[in-house]
Structure 1
Amino acid sequence: MLRAFAASLFLILTTAMAVAAPARIVILTSAEAADAWQLCEVGSQRAQGLRYNYLGAKAAKTFFSEEEPPAFFFAIDPLTVATATPASLSWRKPIIHYSVLPQDDAKKMEEALHERTREAAGNILNNPALRGKTVVMVWDRRLIADPELDKKFEREAAVTLRQLFHLDILPGVPREWPSNSHDYFWIVDFPENSNVPLKFEMVKQDFGKSFPKVPANDWGEPSGLDKASGCQVAP
Structure 2
Amino acid sequence: MLRRSFAKLLLATMAIGSFISAAAATPEQIIILRHGEKQDAYRLCQVGVQRSLALAAQYLGKGAEQSLFSGGSKPDAFIAITLHTLELVSPSARSWNMPVILYSVLPMRGQTAAQTTAILNQRTQEAVRDVLANPAWDGKTVVMVWEHHHIADLALEKQFPNDKITLRQLFNLDVNTTLPETWSGDNFDYFWIVNFAKGSNRPTSVEVRKQVFTGSFASVPSNDWAKPPTYPANSKCEVNSN
Q: 1:192: Cα distance to partner?
A: 1.6
Is 1:186 the counterpart of 2:200 in the alignment? Answer: no
SS of 1:50's equivalent? Answer: helix
Q: 1:228: Cα distance to partner?
A: 2.5
Match of 1:139 in 2: 146
**Count of residues in correspondence between the two structures:** 220
Deviation sequence 1:72-97 (CA, Å, 0-9, x none): 10000100000000000000111110
In structure 2, C-alpha distance between the alignment counterparts of 1:37 and 1:29, rounded to whole Å: 16
RMSD: 1.8
Aligned residue runs from structure 1 range 49-68, under 5 A: 49-65=54-70, 67-68=72-73
8 A Cα contact 1:225 1:233, kept in partner: no
8 A Cα contact 1:73 1:137, kept in partner: yes
Is 1:87 the counterpart of 2:89 in the alignment? Answer: no
Change (3 A) 1:169 1:219: same
Deviation sequence 1:161-188 (CA, Å, 0-9, x none): 0001000112311101111100000000
- TM-score when scaled to structure 1? 0.89
Q: 1:152: Cα distance to partner?
A: 1.8
Q: 1:65: Cα distance to partner?
A: 4.9
Is 1:167 the counterpart of 2:144 in the alignment? Answer: no
Match of 1:112 in 2: 119
Structure 1 counterpart of 2:155, from 127, 141, 148: 148
Match of 1:127 in 2: 134
What stretches of structure 1 move > 3 A for 4+ residues in a row? none
8 A Cα contact 2:57 2:64, kept in partner: yes
Match of 1:213 in 2: 219
- TM-score when scaled to structure 2? 0.86
Deviation sequence 1:126-155 (CA, Å, 0-9, x none): 22111000000000000000011121223x
SS of 1:199's equivalent? Answer: strand
Aligned residues: percent identity?
A: 44
Structure 2 counterpart of 1:37, from 32, 37, 42: 42
SS of 2:95's equivalent? Answer: helix
8 A Cα contact 2:139 2:198, kept in partner: yes
Gaps of 5+ in 1: 1-12
In structure 2, C-alpha distance between the alignment counterparts of 1:92 and 1:186, rounded to whole Å: 24
